[in-house]
Amino acid sequence: MGRHFSDPRYALAFAGAIMGAGGAVAAECPCDIYEKGGTPCVAAHSTVRALYSDYDGPLYQVRRTSDGTTMNIDVRSPGGFADAAAQDSFLNGKAGTISKIYDQSPNHNDFVKAPKGGFLHNGGLEADAKAAKIKLNGYPVYGVKTTMSWDNEAGSVGYRNNATKNIATGNDPEGMYMVCGGRYYNEWCCFDYGNAQTDNTADAPAIMETVYFGNSTQWGHGAGNGPWVMADLEWGLFAGGALVNNDNTPIDADYVTGMVKGDSTNRYAIKGGDAQSGALKTMYEGPRPKDYYPMKKEGAIVLGVGGDNSHTGQGIFFEGAMTKGYPSDATEDAVQENIIAAGYGSEITAVRRNLHGGVGLPVVTVRSIGAGSVMFGFTTVPDGRRVHVKILDQRGRFITAIADGTTAGDRFAAVWNAGAVPPGIYVWKCWSGGRLLGCGKILTGK
């Protein structure tokens, strides 16, 4: 049966990625949203999907361990997901590592393994290319699994770029986010993504600004036992303004969105949420800790290690970006909606096509929402307009009608439990006001 948009469980149904054939994200991606909000991306990294709707280049590079040969892994189509099948074919069951993570922004702030310095006496290690396989909107993709070590000579997985372009320095404003695994973390320092010092040395406070995920209590921390999204600002991990911030609550989720931003005044913010559903929570927004204003950021970028190359944290990274300027709450909310729409952990692939535009006609979005369900969202529908959605099998035989009624207000949502039918390919069609608006495929059990 149909559900109205006012139902709070579906408040994030409509914004974000809309999947096209071949895994293309036909609408906005996170960096398009940041750009529209006036805070463009200056770095954008992901091994699972494009972060710009028109990006059609490589996401990362794989190194085959047996002979050292490398291969770029591209998106399946512009704005789409990683071509994991290309990696599988290249490695052919053999061992391999992620040797480079490309920056999708025009700045080319690419990641390679962290250089020597700080706690990494011999530099960082490259991640096992096959260690973090997940499904994204039903498509197999690979994340970046970082490891911990107490051995400074052996080191651990971590990536770094100390010679970047256009990353915030000094007290310049910036924002950043990452999507990471919510079940693989630890209590040590530091699974970070973001702005760090360029000399790998922890020689002062306020020289870095990164987003962290884990349950460290070595410095500040949140309520309960964690894990928390926090800010690593060097010489300390901070959950907010005080040493212990009970407003920074643990995040219990398979996939986590973490955000940190800081402006050019004495203000910074920490946000976190479930990357599969729901809104972001502002864990803290207010003055920086004592001795952290003005900031003295240096503009390097780290992934999986601390600013001083500390290598005892662990985590799984899927995507992240850094911005020029302090993003608005509305922009960050839209990014979170886009992340949810990307379908982290979803076994179902939802595809839409053949949409009709026009003044006064509804806009249709389709996305997986987990647990075997697919959501259809309709926006800008005139009040009282009839909406009808049918599900058919591949031969055109009727399966069910999941929406058949009039709207109240200008938004409408309908959910189909695809887990109730055998695995396969199904067709959806939707009408409003007697006009076919769109159709597409839903692949289940893949």
Q: What whole-number distance in Å separates Cα of residue 171 and Cα of residue 186?
A: 30
Round to whole Å and give the CA distance between 270 and 282.
6
Cβ atoms of 309 and 162 within 8 Å: the answer is no
CB 292 within 8 A of CB 206: yes
SS3 sequence of the chain: CEEECCCHHHCCCCCCCCECHHHCECCCCHHHHHHHCCCCEEEEEECCECCCCCCCCEEEEEEECCCCCEEEEEECCCCCEECHHHHHHHHCCCCEEEEEECECCCCCCCEEECCCECCECCCCECEECCCCEEEECCEEEECEEECCCCCCCCCCECEEECCCCCCCCECCCEEEEEEEECCCCCCCCCCEEEEECCCCCCCCCCCCEEEEEECCCCCCEECCCCCEEEEECCCCEECCCCCEECCCCCCCCCEEEEEEEECCCCCEEEEEEECCCCCCEEEEEECCCCCCCCCCECCEEEECCCCCCCCCCCEEEEEEEEEECCCCHHHHHHHHHHHHHCCECCCCEECCECCCCCCCCCEEEEEEEECCEEEEEEECCCCCCEEEEEEEECCCCEEEEEEEEECCCCEEEEEEEHHHCCCEEEEEEEEECCEEEEEEEEEECC
| Strand pairing category for 244-245 and 221-222 | parallel
Q: What angle do CA 262, 50, 200 make, to 5 degrees?
A: 45
Report how far Cα 263 is from the mean position of its chain's Cα atoms.
Answer: 22
Q: Is 153 a catalytic residue?
A: no
Query: How many CA atoms, within 13 angstroms, populate the side-chain half-sphere of residue 381?
Result: 30
308 is catalytic: yes
Q: Which of 103, 174, 308, 319 is catalytic?
A: 308
Catalytic position from the list 234, 298, 319, 337: 234
Per-position b or e across 260-286, b if 16+ CB within 10 A of its CB: bbbbbeeebbbbbbbbbbbebebbbee
Catalytic positions are 234, 308
